[in-house]
């Protein structure tokens, strides 16, 4: 057998008998992996005269890029908006547990909190690669506190803030640091928000519009200043109105700067968004749809009382409410459940459903050259799924980090 030693000593793994999601299509090809990256087999054969060291039969599974969850507040009893001494062990637990739901990278999300919580929690979140220890951390998503009182949803009103004269300095003082921050959700109708959007964008931080009563022109202005995302479309914003469609109107706006795409998050759990609304959004702007779980500490736990930051929430089936009210507060749906529900509700292709949880969030964060695809040289973070889109195995950097236990089935 010809040797590949001239290029690398690392073993080459060939995944056979599978359908790979590449270029928006499921293609019957083998997947080649070396040193945590997707390998181009032609270069291997013709340039290196190399071949596989290990072959794995995937038994006709679908292989798709790992899911990326850009809005997850916690899960399995862990609440990212609670400052605790063992915060690190909490985030480690969630990152490990979500592997079974196909999530290979995520943005731990903090809801509106007092400055003391941000100052304590944010230094404990660090960007890191995924592996056997759990899904990779891409940076924090700070949802609030610069949001609208009228559309606060499950966010505590006494912690909401506005931008004063030194708007960006206000934000810095509130959060304490932006070192590990990837996304900030704010209400674009707030005075001085555009200068904050410009400053955040300049630092490579994605600005999302949400928890807002903005009209369409305010939303368009925010996008012109650099905003690229909408936090959980339809939820916590003005409902669509034909004379002023509000933030929802961004999906078909003709005022988006050339070459810019607006993305929007959707909680496809069957509770937060009626299937008809999901279909409307998807048909209006399919390339911008990003599936998010908006999961809270109660995800993966029995019904009952749990927390979301400063609030107590009650879980009843798939419904989560602020205790004693009918105000929805996050979700307990897992990402693989959201992908299946989205596909069922919209009737879209398997490829489209999978890309809404992988390619689109990667494009939103500007990391699609290494995550969210199975293109050559990208990170070998991928899933094996069956035809019903149930996750059978999760791989990070080409290593199996979770597999469905079929012994008891």
Specify the length of the chain in residues.
409
User: Is 328 assigned to a binding site?
Assistant: yes
Residue 245 DSSP one-character state: -
The pair of three-digit structure tokens given for residue 229, joined into one six-digit string? 């995302």
Helix axes 193-202 and 216-224, enclosed angle (nearest 10)? 30
* Residue 19 CA: distances (Å) to CA of 39, 351, 401: 16, 11, 20
Q: Does 143 belong to an annotated binding site?
A: yes
Q: Is 211 annotated as a binding residue?
A: yes
Query: Do 98 and 335 form a contact (C-beta atoms < 8 A)?
Result: yes
Q: How far apart are CA 259 and CA 161, in angstroms?
A: 33
Residue 330, marked binder: yes
Catalytic residue among 79, 269, 294, 379: 294
243 marked ligand binding residue: yes
> Strands, DSSP E only, in 301-386?
304-308, 311-316, 319-322, 382-385
Tell me if the bond preceding 277 is cis, omega within 30° of 0. no
d(CA 309, CA 298) in angstroms, rounded, equals: 12
24 is in an annotated binding site: no
- Determine the longest span between alpha carbons in the chain, in angstroms: 70
DSSP 37: E
Torsion of CA 187, 192, 196, 199, to 10 degrees: 150
Answer yes or no: is 236 a known binding residue. Answer: yes
Q: Is 292 helix (H, G, I), strand (E, B) or coil?
A: coil
| Euclidean distance between CA atoms 74 and 31, whole angstroms | 33
Q: Please calculate the CA angle 92-96-101 and round it to the nearest 5 degrees.
A: 140
The answer to whether 100 is annotated as binding is no
Per-position b or e across 223-240, b if 16+ CB within 10 A of its CB: bebbbbbbbbbbbbbbee
Task: Look at residue 139 and give its three-state secondary structure.
Answer: coil
Nearest to 66 by CA among 392, 387, 380, 293: 380
Q: Is 133 annotated as a binding residue?
A: no
Tokens standing for 250? 């961004």
294 is catalytic: yes
Residues designated as active site: 294
Annotated binding-site positions for substrate = 154, 235-236, 243, 272, 328-330
Annotated binding-site positions for Zn(2+) = 143, 211, 232
Annotated binding-site positions = 143, 154, 211, 232, 235-236, 243, 272, 328-330
């Amino acid at each position: 057998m010809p040797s590949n030693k001239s290029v690398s000593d690392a073993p080459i793994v060939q995944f056979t008998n599978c359908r790979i999601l590449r270029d928006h299509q499921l293609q019957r090809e083998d997947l080649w992996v070396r040193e945590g990256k997707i390998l181009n087999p032609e270069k291997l054969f013709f340039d290196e005269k190399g071949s596989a060291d290990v072959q794995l039969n995937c038994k006709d599974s679908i292989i798709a890029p790992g899911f990326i969850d850009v809005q997850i507040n916690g899960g399995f009893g862990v609440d990212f908006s609670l400052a605790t001494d063992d915060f690190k062990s909490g985030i480690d637990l969630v990152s490990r547990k979500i592997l079974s739901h196909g999530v290979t990278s995520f943005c731990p999300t903090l809801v509106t909190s007092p400055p003391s919580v941000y100052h304590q929690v944010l230094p404990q979140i660090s960007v890191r690669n995924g592996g056997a220890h759990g899904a990779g951390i891409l940076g924090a998503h700070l949802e609030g506190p610069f949001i609208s009182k009228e559309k606060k949803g499950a966010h505590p009103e006494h912690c909401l803030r506005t931008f004063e004269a030194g708007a960006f300095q206000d934000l810095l003082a509130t959060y304490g640091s932006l070192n590990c921050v990837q996304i900030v959700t704010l209400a674009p109708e707030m005075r001085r928000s555009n200068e904050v959007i410009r400053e955040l964008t300049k630092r490579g931080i994605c600005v999302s519009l949400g928890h807002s009563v903005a009209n369409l022109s305010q939303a368009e202005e925010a996008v012109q200043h650099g905003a690229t995302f909408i936090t959980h479309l339809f939820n916590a914003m003005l409902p669509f109105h034909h004379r002023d469609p509000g933030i929802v109107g961004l999906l078909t706006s003709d005022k988006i700067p050339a070459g810019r795409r607006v993305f929007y998050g959707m909680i496809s759990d069957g509770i937060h968004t009626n299937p008809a609304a999901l279909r409307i959004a998807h048909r209006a702007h399919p390339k911008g749809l990003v599936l998010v779980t908006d999961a809270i500490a109660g995800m993966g736990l029995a019904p009952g009382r749990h927390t979301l930051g400063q609030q107590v929430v009650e879980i009843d089936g798939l419904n989560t409410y602020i205790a004693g009210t009918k105000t929805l507060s996050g979700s307990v749906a897992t990402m693989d459940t959201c992908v299946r529900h989205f596909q069922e509700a919209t009737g879209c292709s398997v490829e489209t459903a999978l890309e809404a949880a992988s390619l689109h969030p990667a494009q939103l964060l500007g990391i699609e050259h290494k995550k969210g695809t199975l293109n050559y040289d990208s990170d070998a973070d991928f899933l094996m799924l069956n035809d019903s889109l149930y996750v059978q195995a999760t791989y990070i950097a080409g290593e199996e980090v979770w597999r469905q236990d079929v012994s008891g089935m």
